[in-house]
Amino acid sequence: MGELTARMERASEGEMRETGRREFESLEGMSDACVRGVHHLLLACADTKLLLGYHYGEWTFGTPELEAAVASCSLSQAEFGHVRLLHALLDRHFGDDPDALVDRRLPHEFANVGFLDHPVPDWPGFVAANYVVDLAVTRVLHALRHCAFRPLGLSVEKMIDEERYHLHHGRGWFRTLAARGGDDRRALERHVRTALASVAEWLGPPDEPEDRALVAEGVKATDNRALLAAVQHDVAELAETLGVDVAVAPPRSFAGWTPSNRRIGGGGPDEEILFHLRGAKNAMYKLS
Amino acid sequence: MSEERVYEVFARKSHDEELKHVGSVNATDDDLARAYAWTLYDEERWVEMCVVPRSAIIQVLHRGRVPVWGN
């Protein structure tokens, strides 16, 4: 596990050293494609963390053991904390109102990993979200550690520090369910494959123009294709030791994919999930 | 099948303070023991936290009827 974190750090540092880079205290001086890329990437990470926080919170009372309940609650709080950090950046640099980002967008305007669009039906599904989806966002954060856009680079360290324990939790449960065999193992394989396919879709097509600009201008250390390969490698490496089959074919076509929605066929989180996330039911009790 | 085992949790609040036993967690492997210890015992601003499988603790002496670590 420590080795996985160290590998992510080496990847971001090594690639950044090779970039002849300038630093940005604000968006001024960046190319238009890079500015759009930063905006879309921040939204994609914030939306994914928002949905992860929701699902972790939902499962707090459904975990197979007490320690996992406490862990799920803590994971949820951490993700919502990260959303606040990312929303603060979106507010300061793009004028996005954090309340509007949660309360006043349509489902198809969300850019989260699609695996989180629907209720997570069982514990193996939770583990796939925790290990595969959370890992993918953490891989992106690691690629931002030495970000040329300094306000973003300064925000990611805290998140990376906390994400270490999310990975421990995901890996530990992946191993536990794989070792149990039977239905648990089969469900784990199925959910992990779906989650990996969903992450591949979220990271987008090869050589995507905004992603290319982010790497060229030193915002991101590695492009999304390399990040996908790294996530697949991380998951396959553990799966192989346990005899779990997680091979998935990459999307055949990215027709219809945009960096603002990050889905091939459109769509977004279920209305009911957004209803609960927005606390609409509690709003009636709010003191004016 | 993964067997659950007990891990003892040790932590300290500053580098010039000794590690103290703060509790224990049940987990099927070291990764989960780390995650559970971090989320269960996060009441302080620890600078270091460790987990040790209870079975790895080698007893030197115990005078009571029940060993302190129970193994």
For residue A2, is pLDDT > 90?
no
On whether any CB of chain B is under 8 Å from the CB of A173, the answer is: yes
On whether any CB of chain B is under 8 Å from the CB of A3, the answer is: no
Considering just the CA atoms, what is the radius of gyration of chain B in Å?
A: 13
Phi, psi of A24 (to 5 degrees): -120, 125
Q: Are A34 and A213 in contact (CB under 8 A)?
A: yes
| A288 located within any domain | no
Q: How far apart are CA A114 and CA A277, in angstroms?
A: 16
On whether any CB of chain B is under 8 Å from the CB of A276, the answer is: no
For residue A18, is pLDDT > 70?
no
Amino acid at A152: L
pLDDT in tens, A231-266: 999 999 999 999 999 988 888 899 999 999 999 989
On whether any CB of chain B is under 8 Å from the CB of A71, the answer is: yes
| B38 located within any domain | yes
Number of domains comprising chain A: 1
B34 to chain A, closest Cα gap in Å: 7
Q: Are A42 and A58 in contact (CB under 8 A)?
A: no
For residue B59, is pLDDT > 60?
yes
Of A1, A75, A179, the CB nearest to B31: A1
For residue A169, is pLDDT > 90?
yes
pLDDT score at A252: 86
On whether any CB of chain B is under 8 Å from the CB of A181, the answer is: yes
Q: Are B26 and A67 in contact (CB under 8 A)?
A: yes
| A168 located within any domain | yes
A172 to chain B, closest Cα gap in Å: 5
| B62 located within any domain | no
| B11 located within any domain | yes
On whether any CB of chain B is under 8 Å from the CB of A64, the answer is: no
Beta bridge partners, B51, equal B9
| A22 located within any domain | no
Phi, psi of A251 (to 5 degrees): -55, 140
pLDDT score at A267: 94
pLDDT score at A274: 96
Phi, psi of A147 (to 5 degrees): -65, 135
On whether any CB of chain A is under 8 Å from the CB of B45, the answer is: no
On whether any CB of chain B is under 8 Å from the CB of A65, the answer is: yes
Residue pairs spanning A and B at CB distance below 8 A: 63
For residue B55, is pLDDT > 70?
yes
For residue B8, is pLDDT > 60?
yes
| A25 located within any domain | no
Tell me the mean pLDDT in the region A181-209.
96
pLDDT score at A5: 66
> What integer best gives the mean pLDDT of chain A?
92
- Look up the CATH number of the domain holding residue A260: 1.20.1260.10
Tell me the mean pLDDT in the region A14-34.
77
- Look up the CATH number of the domain holding residue B18: 3.10.20
With residue A168 as reference, give the H or E element that holds it. helix A150-180
ipTM above 0.85, yes or no: no
Its domain, for residue A232, covers: 2-16+33-282
| A190 located within any domain | yes
Nearest CA in chain B to A168: B31
Note whether B1 contacts A171, CB cutoff 8 Å: no
| A48 located within any domain | yes
Tell me the mean pLDDT in the region A67-96.
96
| A21 located within any domain | no
Q: Are A123 and A64 in contact (CB under 8 A)?
A: yes
pLDDT score at B58: 85
Tell me the mean pLDDT in the region A187-205.
97
| B50 located within any domain | yes
User: pLDDT confidence of B60, banded at 50, 70, 90?
Assistant: confident
| B70 located within any domain | no
- pTM here? 0.89
Which distant-in-sequence residues (6+ apart) come within 8 Å of B63 by Cβ? none
Work out the percent of chain A whose per-residue pLDDT is above 90: 83
Number of domains comprising chain B: 1
Each residue of A210-237: b (16+ CB within 10 Å) or e? bbbbbbbbbbbbbbbbbbbebbbebbee
- A226-230, B19-23, B64-68, range with the lowest pLDDT: B64-68
Q: Are A192 and A115 in contact (CB under 8 A)?
A: no
pLDDT score at A251: 85
When scoring A176, A184, A185, A241 by the number of chain B Cβ atoms within 10 A, the one with the most, hence best to mutate, is A176
When scoring B5, B30, B36, B43 by the number of chain A Cβ atoms within 10 A, the one with the most, hence best to mutate, is B36
Give chain B's end-to-end CA distance (angstroms, integer). 22
Q: How far apart are CA B66 and CA B71, in angstroms?
A: 9
Which distant-in-sequence residues (6+ apart) come within 8 Å of B58 by Cβ? none
Its domain, for residue B52, covers: 5-56
Each residue of A117-132: b (16+ CB within 10 Å) or e? beebeebbbbbbbbbb
Nearest CA in chain B to A163: B35
Nearest CA in chain B to A64: B27
User: pLDDT confidence of A279, banded at 50, 70, 90?
Assistant: confident
Tell me the mean pLDDT in the region B22-28.
95
| B21 located within any domain | yes
User: pLDDT confidence of A150, banded at 50, 70, 90?
Assistant: very high
